[in-house]
Amino acid sequence: MKIKAKRTKDEFLIPLINELEDKEEILIEIKEEKVNMEKNFCKEISSLFSNFPIGKINWEKEWHKHLEEKYYG
Amino acid sequence: MAKILLDVNVLLDAFLGRQENAKKLIDELVKTDHDLFITSSMILILDYFLNKYGADKKKFKDIFFSRFKIITTTGYEGLKAFEYKDTEKALIFLSFKRAVGKGIIITSDKSFEADGLKILTPEEALTSPEIFSNLSNELLPMLDLKKEYHYSIEEIDHVVLKNIAEAKYILGPEVKELEEKIAQYIGVKHCIGCSSGTEALVLSLRALAIKLKKQEYFDKADEIITTPFTFTATGDAILRSGATPVFVDIDLDTYTIDPEKIREYLSQNPKVVGIIPVHLYGHPANMDEIMEIAMENNLFVVEDVAQAFGSRWSGKKLGSIGTTGCFSFFPSKNLGGFGDGGMVSTNDDELAEISRMLIKHGGKDKYNVDHVGYNARLDTLQAAIILAKFDIIDDFNERRRKIAKLYTEGLKEIQWLKTPIEKEKAYHVFHQYTILLKDKNRDELQENLKQKGISTMVYYPYPLHKMKVFINNGMKVHGDLQNSEYAAKNVLSLPIEPLYDEEVIYKVIKGLSER
């Protein structure tokens, strides 16, 4: 069966059936809209950072500098 | 299916937007079925930059580790790493090499020593045929246990190391936990861990002899009916329990024992004490019929569930329907350990108690025993590993079913083979996806598929009634067993690894279709 449904911010699907009014439980089959995380893997991860390095950085040097500061003052 | 380790510099270049090639490479890699890794020694570095650039670490963990696996770095590798100029990099490649054997490290650092591993820059990796060509020279295995280990590598490494450290090697808490979890999962009162699926069968039969006959073994006059189209352990267990195996034919639709043939034999032979149906390839035997026959004739039923963990008949989990159920945790099984292991399931308190004695030399007190017992306990280490894999068994069984569906759909037009079926009351877990050839030379077909890089196997080439061990030890047969003999000559099992993606299955379908 096909029904109209609304997706909320929390990813819940609310069936748009007027007569339903939460009075009965119905079983519906919803074809999952596959979120293609793989397609946007780097974009998804990049979006998790709040700031980005400016200019060119040597990650290894930066890491070693951090270790030196942390353990040798 | 390559094993690839991504160095931190490549990951950071990609995620912090500094290098288009690194970004492109990772976006392409995550779409492949290659196993992608970092090592635990790299976590600190990654974490430093996540903090420095204000990343949401929880979300990062969810997304990144949905595709990347972490290889444990051991103390031994720490010691070895000191022998190298760059200890940090040595830790990475030593643990990667130990975990995967042959693999590729992708790094921006061209000075990376790799001790025989392949080193590629992101640019080189993007054009590497080893990574992005569909034409793999490797033979596609029936099952990829390394891939399955890598899928759960963090949990498994953890439970193994923890278990070793706890030193409760014999009947430790994990054995009890596994027994309780599986009893609940199957829906029975008792589960008893033991050393193998074969021992589970022997224990069940010995416990039944002790309970029903008040003697250690069955008499040779006691007959137990089973199928000849099974692994030798089923018939062997009957011999080891002292009884006589009676082989009756199978139904060619499911390759399981034919209840009508059991009825036929019983109508003329009153000495039968029990039946062992084998849920072969993961498809249930007809348990309605078999239980009805057993009730009518006062017989016990020992279910051989070695190949069918999670399978159901009429909604009931196999192993909960008969008098006992016998499971195997052999590595290649749907729920497999890292060695031998097994389990007996039952609702019968007395059989459970006797089985518990038999696995421990035959007594509640091993220094003062009651029965001729065995040293047949399930190792704590195996139980811990099986527990870790137990959490994903339903998902893996579903994956097997999905693969089976792809095969059945893809092979339906081929006239010279018959695809497996699933009876209406059955939930098949496809331990094997086995086709039946019609007027086709199986050896030639196997060789042809091998040339195309596809492994196949025959389970089983010899029915039990053709084996010396049964011929020389007083077996009985009912009828000509022609279905079993036909199946033994014409079945062929195709690769069915829960972690294979659709492309792999299409390769097999194409291999068969092109013939």
Confidence label for A72 from pLDDT (cuts 50, 70 and 90): confident
Please give the Cα distance from B201 to B199 (Å, whole number): 5
- With both helix axes pointing from N to C terminus, report the angle between A59-72 and B8-15 in degrees, rounded to the nearest 10: 110
Please give the Cα distance from B325 to B322 (Å, whole number): 7
Q: How far apart are the first and last CA of chain B?
A: 25
Kindly tell me if the per-residue pLDDT of A23 is higher than 50.
Answer: no
Confidence label for B490 from pLDDT (cuts 50, 70 and 90): very high
Query: Helix, strand, coil shares of chain B as percentages rounded to 5?
Result: 45, 15, 40
User: What pLDDT, on the 0 to 100 scale, is given for residue B113?
Assistant: 73
Q: What is the mean pLDDT of chain B?
A: 96
User: What pLDDT, on the 0 to 100 scale, is given for residue B19?
Assistant: 87
User: What pLDDT, on the 0 to 100 scale, is given for residue B515?
Assistant: 62
Residues of chain B with Cβ-Cβ distance to A48 below 8 Å are 55-56, 59-60, 63
The gap from C-alpha B311 to its chain's centroid, in whole angstroms, comes to: 13
Per the CB < 8 A criterion, the answer to whether B498 and B400 are in contact is yes
Query: Are residues A48 and B56, on separate chains, in Cβ contact within 8 Å?
Result: yes
**What does each C-alpha distance from B5 to B40, B41, B104, B133 come to in angstroms?**
12, 13, 6, 18
User: What pLDDT, on the 0 to 100 scale, is given for residue A7?
Assistant: 66
- Which B residues 399-458 touch A at CB under 8 Å? none
Nearest CB partner across the interface for B53, out of A42, A49, A60: A49
Which neighbouring-strand residues pair with B435? B492
Please give the Cα distance from B396 to B309 (Å, whole number): 11
- Residue B38 touches chain A, beta carbons under 8 Å: no
Residues of chain A with Cβ-Cβ distance to B45 below 8 Å are 59, 63
User: What pLDDT, on the 0 to 100 scale, is given for residue A8?
Assistant: 63
Please give the Cα distance from B483 to B296 (Å, whole number): 26
**What does each C-alpha distance from B198 to B266, B322, B400 come to in angstroms?**
26, 17, 24
Please give the Cα distance from B290 to B22 (Å, whole number): 61
Query: In chain B, pLDDT over 70 holds for what percent of residues?
Result: 99
Please give the Cα distance from B343 to B326 (Å, whole number): 6
Q: How far apart are the first and last CA of chain A?
A: 67
CA nearest to B395, candidates B385, B406, B403? B403
Neighbours of B325 (CB within 10 A): 30
> Who contacts B230 (Cβ-Cβ below 8 Å, separation ≥6)?
B278, B280, B304, B460, B464
Nearest CB partner across the interface for B55, out of A38, A39, A48: A48
Kindly tell me if the per-residue pLDDT of A2 is higher than 60.
Answer: no
Please give the Cα distance from B271 to B486 (Å, whole number): 29
Confidence label for B40 from pLDDT (cuts 50, 70 and 90): very high
DSSP H helices, B360-481, are 380-390, 393-411, 442-451, 468-471
Kindly tell me if the per-residue pLDDT of B144 is higher than 80.
Answer: yes
- With both helix axes pointing from N to C terminus, report the angle between B173-186 and B380-390 in degrees, rounded to the nearest 10: 40
Confidence label for B415 from pLDDT (cuts 50, 70 and 90): very high
pLDDT in tens, B98-131: 999 999 999 998 877 777 889 999 999 999 988 9
Residues of chain A with Cβ-Cβ distance to B64 below 8 Å are 45
Per the CB < 8 A criterion, the answer to whether B175 and B390 are in contact is no
Please give the Cα distance from B459 to B148 (Å, whole number): 22
> Who contacts B290 (Cβ-Cβ below 8 Å, separation ≥6)?
B257, B259, B262, B275, B277, B301, B322
Closest chain A C-alpha to B9 CA, distance in angstroms = 6
- For residue B223, which phi and psi values (nearest 5 degrees)? -110, 140
For residue B319, what are its two tokens? 């192993």
pLDDT in tens, B285-304: 999 999 999 999 999 999 99
Name the closest residue on chain A to residue B58, using Cα atoms. Answer: A48
Name the closest residue on chain B to residue A56, using Cα atoms. Answer: B18
Closest chain A C-alpha to B16 CA, distance in angstroms = 6
- Exposed e or buried b per residue across B67-84, where buried means at least 16 C-beta atoms within 10 angstroms of its C-beta: ebbbbbbbeebeebbeee
Please give the Cα distance from B228 to B467 (Å, whole number): 10
Which neighbouring-strand residues pair with B301? B275
User: What pLDDT, on the 0 to 100 scale, is given for residue A12?
Assistant: 64
Residue linked to tokens 């596609």: B140
> Who contacts A31 (Cβ-Cβ below 8 Å, separation ≥6)?
none
- Which A residues 8-47 touch B at CB under 8 Å? 37-42, 44-46
Which pTM does this prediction carry?
0.90
Kindly tell me if the per-residue pLDDT of A37 is higher than 70.
Answer: no
For residue A43, what are its two tokens? 């974009």
Query: Are residues A45 and B15, on separate chains, in Cβ contact within 8 Å?
Result: yes
Nearest CB partner across the interface for B63, out of A37, A51, A66: A37
pLDDT in tens, B200-217: 999 999 999 999 999 999
Per DSSP, B140 falls in state B
Query: Are residues A63 and B18, on separate chains, in Cβ contact within 8 Å?
Result: no
Asked if the bond preceding B460 is cis, omega within 30° of 0, the reply is yes
What single letter denotes the amino acid at residue B210?
I
Name the closest residue on chain B to residue A37, using Cα atoms. Answer: B63
- Residue B472 touches chain A, beta carbons under 8 Å: no
Torsion of CA B499, B502, B507, B509, to 10 degrees: 110
Please give the Cα distance from B486 to B29 (Å, whole number): 45
Name the closest residue on chain B to residue A62, using Cα atoms. Answer: B49
Please give the Cα distance from B407 to B399 (Å, whole number): 12
For residue A37, what are its two tokens? 């995380």
Name the closest residue on chain B to residue A49, using Cα atoms. Answer: B55
What single letter denotes the amino acid at residue B409?
E
> Who contacts B463 (Cβ-Cβ below 8 Å, separation ≥6)?
B228, B229, B247, B481, B484, B485, B487, B488
- Exposed e or buried b per residue across B472-492, where buried means at least 16 C-beta atoms within 10 angstroms of its C-beta: eeebbbbeebebbbbbbebbb
